A and B are shown apart, each in its own frame.
Chain A
Amino acid sequence: MRAAFGVFLAVATAVALAFLVLPVVAIFVQVPPSDLLHALGKDVTRDALVVSLKTSAIAHAAVLVFGTPAAWLLARKRFPGRGLVLALVELPLVLPPAVAGIALLATFGRAGLLGDELNALGIQIPFTQTAVVLAVAFVESPFYLRGAIAAFEAVDTSLLDAARTLGASPARVFARVGLPLAAGGLGAASALALARGLGEFGATIIFAGSLQGVTQTLPLAIYAQFEADFDTALAISALFILVGALLLVALKLYPWFRFISISRSRFAPST
């Protein structure tokens, strides 16, 4: 009986692993590396790469600049309705991306919630690169906020109190104690959010469309190419897998880097 269960566990694990790994392997087996490199040199790929990098960089910077202080406040302050706010922050996580796209249109579209105000200012957002940035920021921010709140909550409160009694203003407590001690968690949350933002598809195609060189990001380019030129779609997919693998490796290595820095200081000459 015990042996049978062991076999069952092994088989289940093998099936799960094969199911997850096989499609990834398939991408690299289908096309030789030289063809992949050639496909990456095509205009459509290069344009999509530029749009993706630009919009992701801007969106991610905005998420970090606004999200980090917001996460600090939500992690440290206790106020009525905090639970509700935390739930709202995570709501986009459980929404289908298509719903996010519709929601953004309903907010920033010509007939949307802020449509009149934006029209008055002569600003048009849907189907522009700004729309891509907004869509990416919208879907990736909950990933960052969630991780950043958890990272800040893990910082020992007595350290923050100690900093206050040592004359540090709240801003200095944040910069000198909160931020450095949460850095590991913030980095992990940032990497996860960045990966999610780069892969954004549903909200972008609805809110920003798929115009090559303007709003067509890498995932949208895969969708646009997969019938016309399957090799290009494969090449971009391969690129994603490499970037994703690099991010994961960096995340896994992070504690190891910390270990090195600690053990090095142990042997540092004391003066």
Chain B
Amino acid sequence: MVPLHLDFSLPLRAFDVALALDVGAETFALVGPSGAGKTSVLRAVAGLARPARGRIACAADVWFDSERGVDVRPEDRSVGYVFQEYALFPHLTVEQNVTFGGGRGDRLLWRLRIEHLAKTKPGELSGGERQRVAIARALARGPRVLLLDEPMAALDPHTRGAVRAELHDLLRELALPALLVTHDFEDAAALADRVGVLADGKLRQVGTPADLLGAPADPFVARLAGANVLSGVAARTASGLTGVLLDAGPTIFAADPGSGRTDVVVYPWDVSLAHEAPDDSALNHVRDEIVSLTPLGNRARVRLKLLTAEVTTASLERLRLQPGDQVVASFKATQARLLSRT
């Protein structure tokens, strides 16, 4: 029996959220741009939004079934919900928040390392502390399903990495079906066993983070996963590779077969930068101008006119790269994946 079974359609103003999904004792991330209907999925599972039709079941318990007229009230579903911005009760202390639904909070406060904050009000907590209180509160009633709405969004970049690692460990330890919503593919890949890409209320692709990175179903999924998507026309070359004449000018070589209108997917972390075209095994060398540099911890995102590269800050300093510089971006033919348009 699948721990969490969803198959429903929920009308929103602009479109219907319609998806069929089975979530085991795993963390499943729904990723998509804002307004894709991600939160509506969580609300439907929690009973806060009522689908037009379909079925939502937790193991043998049916929570919603339009055909049988079943719609269990939110307070009677066994759901732990971590709301966006956490929705902590501002008039109650941390301990009162955690025990709002009954039970004792000691063990959870200890497990989430917030026991020293028990008598504090949420208004005086940092973002990371608030997140832990929200998770403790969601777990206090021993839920059978955990729902997390953008749990990382309210955190500043400095604490993000550490908090993400902690949340990852906690989710593994709980081994509950957890449905996590995020607009950030990196968060999804770091936290989830499987990822579903949601656009306009429909699932575009479902798979492990590696599946989605290795074989994105379409340009939308590829862009969401952080890839450069370059459009052009593909043709087979004499060497057995595929040559893609990009709309922007240069020709790219790819190992994948393809012909006609094609999108080339290149991940920023596969692109290396140099002042002159290096004499190496990479087949693709594109001369381009640096538009901007954005530091990301020990790496930096270098935006060129054609594509974006991700290099270490050490390399950046060694090459003394500045916006406006002419550089050569290199990547192998096997790192250029083709998405043929059908």
Contacts and interface: CB of A to CB of B under 8 A. Distances in A.
Interface in B58-83: 73-77, 79-81, 83
A265 to B, nearest CB: 6
B120 A265 contact: yes
B74 A164 contact: yes
B58 to A, nearest CB: 14
Interface in A144-179: 156, 158-159, 161-169, 176-177
B100 interface: yes
A270 interface: yes
Contacts of B176: none
Contact of A168 (B48, B101, B121, B124): B101
Given A262-B121, A262-B123, A167 B102 contact: yes
Given A162-B87, A166-B100, A180-B91, A270 B117 contact: yes
Contacts of B124: 265-266
Given A163-B100, A165-B74, A167-B101, A271 B89 contact: no
Given A168-B100, A271-B119, A158 B75 contact: no
B91 A181 contact: yes
Interface in A233-271: 262, 265-266, 268-271
B29 to A, nearest CB: 20
Contacts of B90: 159, 181
A55 to B, nearest CB: 34
A169 B102 CA distance: 13
Contacts of B73: 164
Contact of B87 (A156, A169, A180, A262): A156
Contacts of A168: 75, 100-101
B141 A166 contact: yes
Nearest to A161: B48
Given A181-B91, A271-B119, A169 B75 contact: yes
Contacts of A181: 89-91
Contacts, number: 75
B75 to A, nearest CB: 5
Contact of B83 (A162, A169, A180, A269): A162
A159 B117 CA distance: 20
B188 to A, nearest CB: 22
Interface residues of B, number: 34
| Interface of B (DSSP majority class) | loop
B101 A166 contact: yes
B48 A165 contact: yes
Contacts of A176: 100
B87 A161 contact: yes
Contacts of A158: 83-85, 87
B158 interface: no
A159 B100 contact: no
A161 B79 CA distance: 12
Nearest to A181: B91
Nearest to A163: B100
Instruction: Specify which of B74, B79, B124, B140 lies most central, judged by the most chain A CB atoms within 10 Å of its CB.
Output: B74
A52 to B, nearest CB: 35
Interface string B158-174: 00000000000000000
A98 B330 CA distance: 86
B336 to A, nearest CB: 44
A124 B31 CA distance: 68
A162 B75 CA distance: 10
B118 interface: yes
B89 A270 contact: no
15 contacts: A156-B87, A158-B83, A158-B84, A158-B87, A161-B87, A164-B73, A164-B75, A165-B77, A165-B81, A168-B75, A169-B75, A181-B91, A265-B119, A265-B120, A266-B124
Given A158-B85, A168-B100, 11 more contacts: A159-B87, A161-B81, A162-B87, A164-B48, A164-B73, A167-B76, A262-B121, A265-B121, A269-B119, A270-B120, A271-B119
- Which 3 A-B pairs rank lowest in CB-CB distance, beginning with the nearest? A166-B101, A164-B74, A158-B87
